[in-house]
């Protein structure tokens, strides 16, 4: 490939791009059309008055020029060790012999460790026990770690792995969560939420609709795989650099595995090349293994998983099997019924209790279930332990009620959008099945009406119906689906955050907080918050890495709550410091000038006191200098804990969420019913982020979330063979969406004029996860296209991912039942 070719618009500031990518960029320029600007086109406005304005990601230039350092880019001493992992080749059995003599003997191998070499805890389960750091006896999945090798090079470490003698008494593996649930094989007890008399509601209903579905899992496919770099410190400690959403938990586990106090372990995260939930708990094992080797050898240790190992060893989004039975009235409005969700948790609890809970909390999506019972099972199977993934069970739960909406529409003979609108939470039907009132209902209705209009839903509906009547093979489909997503960790204690603010004597500002940066723009938003409070440009505020020795005992950056929690903590620190500076200015700088302390403000790089004639201004730098010389502390910490939330798991009732974020998407597809191939022709999105902290970043989150959700429901198919070995273990066999999968018409807008009804940071709303579930519109549109083959009498079951194979199978089933073959009538 030609390198260093000048780019089409080479300029001093722009880095070189290769000829190929320059050409590709040229070809794609302007091909993606939408009325609203996509994230890359949003105008960056002046950074004065920082919060609420579009600003580029704090590392944007570094991301695109390759200067942003990820774990593998960090420099290490030349004698750093490289680790490879010995993984179980079978899904279930007993380890009867692990012979590592030849592994140890290979030149270049420095250390080999297994379960007997762990001085402290051997179970590193994050919430509940169940995750041994190395297999002791029982093997629970293909890819479970048996031992680790540290060598002078990664290649040597990998070669050494193959010399191990592994003998296993293999036993049958269970890969079917429904069978596991029937046998009562659970990783955690079943939980039930119930409101009213669901049996009575079913018995008295005009119609009963029922169905079942299998909803597939999803590989995180973060671009940066699991990786860490561990350095020894004085005494018995370690510093762990890791690609990790939960540094404090890794600190705890590393300390426990080594048998040392938490303060001897420092965990640092500058940024991740994507996390998506896959690094909330499952970045820790590699840090623990690296730390063990570092402490045993006294040498810096690198652990990074090759993609295939990463995909085998780590858990994924939980696949779910969902069933519903709902009583409806003549208009298709749900009166009540029962929903049963079975989450496939893999071999251990990990976060599954909270994930299946969140699926249950979201099995209503934006609709009132009436008098309903929701049951959530946590099935144990012999796969990697499934874990957090954008939406955290919410998407899997919503799928059941969206399936029901389409099915109700066909039963009643109305458009699915009409049925969806009829079932939305509304005044008088405002209470969820777990006892939380849905706030901002008017916003939800208005959002859907706006999208209905801007997407020209009804005109396109007519056009599609006409098209389908004339088109026997290619069928078009359309769907508009809402999202309501609860914001807060459902584990109440996690809803807290801390921040540490330093002002240096040149006036530059350093903010640290408990959140981690994974590409979502959290650090940018936190800088904006501090800049806003202190009246500075965002460039004057810097965040470096997240470190456990700066802000302790942090929650994971998860549940979309990073900006909500840490933004408030950073604001708290800023306000306290500001108050101290005002007191100082009032007493020392403006003594006897009659200026009102309460009217002081920090604006545009100045402390301003008084108004009009008597206005006084001091530049920020001078203020800071003066405060320093007068021995006023220029450092402050902040804290925040979300108010009002609670949930009683004994009764299944409470108010688990501080607020809800809303959104809706309209998707149009065309399906070739003879091959199952399809394309997404147009997508319109309207999404609620309250008063956005940063519209450019938020639109980026909405676009990315939607596309990732679409990938989950369409092309991303996890495949295991009968022995439980993952066979979709790389990009060749596992298809995530690419640039070319963007819909050719993609209109993305943020809802305006609706600040958060709760006192969130500047009345913004969390944005990380909710847009993921907008992808459901594509799946529902596929069902709509297929339903046209029945003249809209029924919507076929369409399990996910709805790959072309699955779409084809559904189409063939429908054609056999509805269309006399051959398609073209024979003559004579």
Q: Which residues sit at the interface with ligand HPA, rule CB under 6 A?
A: 280, 351, 354, 358, 388, 392, 489-491, 494, 556, 558-559
Give me the residue label for tokens 């299944």: 652
Measured between alpha carbons, how far is 48 from 291 in angstroms, rounded to an integer?
44
Measured between alpha carbons, how far is 668 from 681 in angstroms, rounded to an integer?
6
Which of ligand MOS, ligand MTE, ligand HPA, none lies near 301, with the C-beta cut-off 5 to 8 A by kind?
A: none
CB nearest ligand HPA: which residue? Answer: 559
Measured between alpha carbons, how far is 224 from 286 in angstroms, rounded to an integer?
14
Which of ligand HPA, ligand MOS, ligand MTE, none lies near 281, with the C-beta cut-off 5 to 8 A by kind?
A: none
**Those residues with Cβ within 8 angstroms of residue 352's Cβ, 6 or more apart along the chain or in another chain:** 187, 188, 318, 343, 345, 346, 378, 385, 386
Stretch that binds ligand MOS, among 155-163, 327-335, 385-393, 653-661 (CB under 6 A): 385-393
Look up residue 323 and give its two tokens.
């069933």
Query: Is 350 among the residues that bind ligand MOS (CB under 6 A)?
Result: no
Site for ligand MOS in 768-797 (CB under 6 A): 769
Stretch that binds ligand MOS, among 233-241, 321-329, 384-392, 450-458 (CB under 6 A): 384-392
Three-class DSSP category at 240 = strand
Site for ligand MOS in 264-283 (CB under 6 A): 277, 280
From residue 568, alpha-carbon distances to 499, 500, 513, 526, 548 in Å are: 9, 12, 10, 9, 19
From residue 44, alpha-carbon distances to 52, 650, 693 in Å are: 11, 49, 13
Give me the least distance between CB of 141 and ligand MOS, in Å please.
21
User: Using CB under 6 A as the criterion, what x/- string covers residues 217-256 for binding ligand MOS?
Assistant: ----------------------------x-----------
Dihedral (CA of 73, 560, 684, 38) sign: negative
Measured between alpha carbons, how far is 816 from 810 in angstroms, rounded to an integer?
10
Give the strand pairing for 371-379 and 109-113: unpaired
Instruction: Write out the E strands in 406-551.
Output: 474-487, 496-503, 509-513, 541-542, 546-547
Which of ligand HPA, ligand MOS, ligand MTE, none lies near 490, with the C-beta cut-off 5 to 8 A by kind?
A: ligand HPA
Q: Which is nearer to ligand MTE, 7 or 54 (CB)?
A: 54
CB nearest ligand MOS: which residue? Answer: 277
Q: Which is nearer to ligand MTE, 515 or 796 (CB)?
A: 515
Q: Which is nearer to ligand MOS, 361 or 389 (CB)?
A: 389
Q: Is 769 a catalytic residue?
A: yes
**Those residues with Cβ within 8 angstroms of residue 417's Cβ, 6 or more apart along the chain or in another chain:** 452, 457, 461, 479, 480
Q: Which is nearer to ligand MTE, 66 or 828 (CB)?
A: 66
* First CA to last CA distance, the chain: 61
Which of ligand MTE, ligand HPA, ligand MOS, none lies near 368, with the C-beta cut-off 5 to 8 A by kind?
A: none
Measured between alpha carbons, how far is 383 from 725 in angstroms, rounded to an integer?
8
Give me the least distance between CB of 770 and ligand MTE, in Å please.
10
Residue 680: enclosing H or E segment and its boundaries?
A: strand 678-687
Task: Single out the residue of 272, 292, 388, 778 in contact with ligand MOS (rule: CB under 6 A).
Answer: 388
Q: Which is nearer to ligand MOS, 257 or 351 (CB)?
A: 351
Q: Which is nearer to ligand MTE, 729 or 769 (CB)?
A: 769
Q: Which of 188, 497, 473 is nearest to 354 (CA)?
A: 188
Give me the least distance between CB of 314 and ligand MTE, in Å please.
14
Q: Which residues pair with 90 in a beta bridge?
A: none
Give me the least distance between CB of 361 and ligand HPA, in Å please.
9
Give me the least distance between CB of 642 and ligand HPA, in Å please.
12
User: Under a CB-based contact definition with an 8 Å cutoff, are residues 386 and 344 in contact?
Assistant: yes
Give me the least distance between CB of 745 and ligand MTE, in Å please.
24
Q: How big is the site for ligand MOS, counted in residues (CB under 6 A)?
A: 10
Task: Single out the residue of 198, 392, 620, 678 in contact with ligand MOS (rule: CB under 6 A).
Answer: 392
Measured between alpha carbons, how far is 395 from 386 in angstroms, rounded to an integer?
15
Q: Which is nearer to ligand MTE, 91 or 569 (CB)?
A: 569
Give me the least distance between CB of 409 and ligand HPA, in Å please.
31
Q: Which is nearer to ligand MOS, 147 or 485 (CB)?
A: 485
Where do contacts with ligand MTE occur on this chain (CB under 6 A)?
Answer: 274-277, 390, 515, 518-520, 522, 557-563, 701, 704, 766, 768-769
Task: Single out the residue of 559, 581, 602, 786 in contact with ligand MOS (rule: CB under 6 A).
Answer: 559
**Those residues with Cβ within 8 angstroms of residue 63's Cβ, 6 or more apart along the chain or in another chain:** 57, 519
Q: Catalytic: which of 668, 716, 717, 769?
A: 769
Query: Is 558 among the residues that bind ligand MOS (CB under 6 A)?
Result: yes
Does 603 sit behind a cis peptide bond, omega within 30 degrees of 0 on the bond before it? Answer: no
Q: Which of 64, 54, 67 is nearest to 525 (CA)?
A: 54
Query: Is 484 among the residues that bind ligand MOS (CB under 6 A)?
Result: no
Question: Under the rule (CB under 6 A), what is the footprint of ligand MOS?
Answer: 245, 277, 280, 388-390, 392, 558-559, 769
**Among all residues, which ones are annotated catalytic?**
769
């Amino acid at each position: 490939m030609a390198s260093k070719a000048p780019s089409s618009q080479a300029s001093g500031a722009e880095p070189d791009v290769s000829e190929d990518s320059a050409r590709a960029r040229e070809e794609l320029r302007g091909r993606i059309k939408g009325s609203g600007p996509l994230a890359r086109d949003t105008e960056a406005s002046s950074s004065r008055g920082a919060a609420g304005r579009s600003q580029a990601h704090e590392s944007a230039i570094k991301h695109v020029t390759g200067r942003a350092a990820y774990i593998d880019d960090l420099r290490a001493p030349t004698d750093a060790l490289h680790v490879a992992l010995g993984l179980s080749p079978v899904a279930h059995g007993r380890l009867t012999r692990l012979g590592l003599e030849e592994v140890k003997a290979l030149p270049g191998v420095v250390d080999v460790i297994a379960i007997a070499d762990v001085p402290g805890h051997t179970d590193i389960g994050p919430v509940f026990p169940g995750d041994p750091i190395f297999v002791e006896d029982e093997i629970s999945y293909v890819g479970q770690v048996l031992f680790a090798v540290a060598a002078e090079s990664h290649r040597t470490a990998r070669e050494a792995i193959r010399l191990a003698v592994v003998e296993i008494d293999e036993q049958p593996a269970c890969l079917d969560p429904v069978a596991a649930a029937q046998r009562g094989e659970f990783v955690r007890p079943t939980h039930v939420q119930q409101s009213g008399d669901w049996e009575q509601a079913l018995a008295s209903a005009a119609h009963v609709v029922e169905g079942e579905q299998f909803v597939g899992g999803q590989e995180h496919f973060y671009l940066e795989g699991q990786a860490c770099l561990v350095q020894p410190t004085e005494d018995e400690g370690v510093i762990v650099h890791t690609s990790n959403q939960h540094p404090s938990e890794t600190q705890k586990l590393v300390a426990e595995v080594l048998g040392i106090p938490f303060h001897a372990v420092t965990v640092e995260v500058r940024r991740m090349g994507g996390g998506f939930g896959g690094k909330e708990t499952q970045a820790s094992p590699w840090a623990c293994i690296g730390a063990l080797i570092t402490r045993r050898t006294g040498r810096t240790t690198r652990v990074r998983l090759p993609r295939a190992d990463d995909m085998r060893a780590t858990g994924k989004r939980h696949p779910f099997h969902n069933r519903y039975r709902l009583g409806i009235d003549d208009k298709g409005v749900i009166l009540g019924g029962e929903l049963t969700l079975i989450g496939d948790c893999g071999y251990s609890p990990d976060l599954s209790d909270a994930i299946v809970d969140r699926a249950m909390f979201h099995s209503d999506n934006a609709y009132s279930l009436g008098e309903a019972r929701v049951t959530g099972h946590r099935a144990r199977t012999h796969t990697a332990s499934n874990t957090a993934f954008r939406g955290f069970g919410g998407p899997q739960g919503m799928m059941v009620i969206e399936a029901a909406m389409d099915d109700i529409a066909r039963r009643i003979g109305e458009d699915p959008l009409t049925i969806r609108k009829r079932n939305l939470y509304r005044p008088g039907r405002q209470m969820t099945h777990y006892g939380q009132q849905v706030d901002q209902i008017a916003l939800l209705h208005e959002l859907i009406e706006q999208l209905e209009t801007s997407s020209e839903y009804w005109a396109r509906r007519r056009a599609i119906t006409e098209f389908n009547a004339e088109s026997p093979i290619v069928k078009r489909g359309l769907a508009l689906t809402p999202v309501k997503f609860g914001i807060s960790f459902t584990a109440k204690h996690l809803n807290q955050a801390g921040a540490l603010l330093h002002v240096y004597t040149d006036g530059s500002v350093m903010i640290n907080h408990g959140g981690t940066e994974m590409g979502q723009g959290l650090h940018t938003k936190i800088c904006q918050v501090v800049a806003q409070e202190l009246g500075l440009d965002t460039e004057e505020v810097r965040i470096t890495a997240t470190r456990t020795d700066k802000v302790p005992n942090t929650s994971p950056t998860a549940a979309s709550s990073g900006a909500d929690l840490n933004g408030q903590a950073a604001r708290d620190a800023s306000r306290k410091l500001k108050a101290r500076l005002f007191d100082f200015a009032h007493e020392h700088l403006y003594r006897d000038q009659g200026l009102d302390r309460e009217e002081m403000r920090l604006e545009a790089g100045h402390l301003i006191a008084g108004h009009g004639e008597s206005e006084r201004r001091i530049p920020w730098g001078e203020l800071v200098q003066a405060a320093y010389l007068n021995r006023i502390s220029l450092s402050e910490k902040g804290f925040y804990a979300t108010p009002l939330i609670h949930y009683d798991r004994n009764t299944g009732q409470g108010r688990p969420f501080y607020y809800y974020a809303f959104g809706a998407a309209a998707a149009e597809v065309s399906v070739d019913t003879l091959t199952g191939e399809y394309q997404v022709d147009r997508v319109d999105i309207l999404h609620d982020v309250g008063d956005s902290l940063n519209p450019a970043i938020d639109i980026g989150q909405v676009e990315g979330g939607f596309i990732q959700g679409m990938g989950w429901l369409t092309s991303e198919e996890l495949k295991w063979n009968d022995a439980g070995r993952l066979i979709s273990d790389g990009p060749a066999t596992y298809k995530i969406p690419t640039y070319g999968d963007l819909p050719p018409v993609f209109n993305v807008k943020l809802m305006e004029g609706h600040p958060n009804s709760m006192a969130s940071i500047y009345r913004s709303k969390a944005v990380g996860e909710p847009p993921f579930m907008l992808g459901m519109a594509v799946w529902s549109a596929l069902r709509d296209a297929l339903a046209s083959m029945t003249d809209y009498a029924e919507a076929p079951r369409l399990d996910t991912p709805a790959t072309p194979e699955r779409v084809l199978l559904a189409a063939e089933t429908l054609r056999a039942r509805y269309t006399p073959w051959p398609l073209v009538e024979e003559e004579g």
